[in-house]
Structure 1
């Protein structure tokens, strides 16, 4: 597979570095600038999940596309939480892999380096988010979701657009995965502290919008019924 992918990517105009294990991949990253990675999960000695985790721990933010035959929702979530940006299950057509790499590279190169919405600051170069200077611990996928919604602050972003932009497509992705990630992000974005919230446009999508001061205070203060 590696030989076939290298041949195809060479034909697409990429300068490809191909290795057959995770340790050699880390060495290649140390010695060469890399714009994107396609990583097989079943690598000898170190799984693709572990390789993704180590790449992110080193501070590198290039897009990572995971390749695997494991297509359960739990496996996809684990891979994305390990630091991958997209997930492609085997068997796949080379044309789809090439299209997903192009989408990942476009997304990585686009957008403003820094976004500010409410009290939330998003640094696209460092892949970090903070509120009043205090970092918010988002996973790579959560960060991508927040950044996309913040880029369109005040506007509805459709479910299909989110799945296309962040997961590389919506036809083969369980939409419950998106709902799970929105739930994760909401728990980390305290509306009273950030001045923003994510609202659901039922059946259509999501919107990140400012919270008025009195609304934020109301959300922070439990009602009399809740206190009972």
Structure 2
């Protein structure tokens, strides 16, 4: 905060998952010793969804096995406690400066989401979607297998606009129709009664 970064604090694993799924984060500082689980579980879950969100581990677990495990699971850096504030800020700035070339696209089988171009292809054939449909599919793709509420989708589309549940349902319905028309068979977007939606890889 002293460096003028906007910070979200999570007291445990469940809250960390909630923040990660609802906020647009640029970096995660991950303590392995969470109150209700392991930081390794959070890291593995984020990476399993195809997300390349930069993650720095901070931990009192200084043994080589823990460091190697964290890096193999996909952490961008591993800082052993204790450390100085100067070192911490320097590492944060270094990770934030790293070009995230691998973030430019998300592939789910033959379905390709191109982030920079904001376009979608299936088996190299373009699928025409509007801005909100793209944002919804991107949000789903970063949370494969996870239930996403309508409120989360509204936040993903535009926090400033007044969007209602029925509007979200309409966008999701149009997206489903376009994916089906394009012959996409390797993903499924399901309605979860009273909770929202879930996209799964088949």
TM-score (norm. length: structure 2): 0.50
TM-score (norm. length: structure 1): 0.44
Counting helix residues as a fraction of each chain, which structure ranks higher?
A: 1
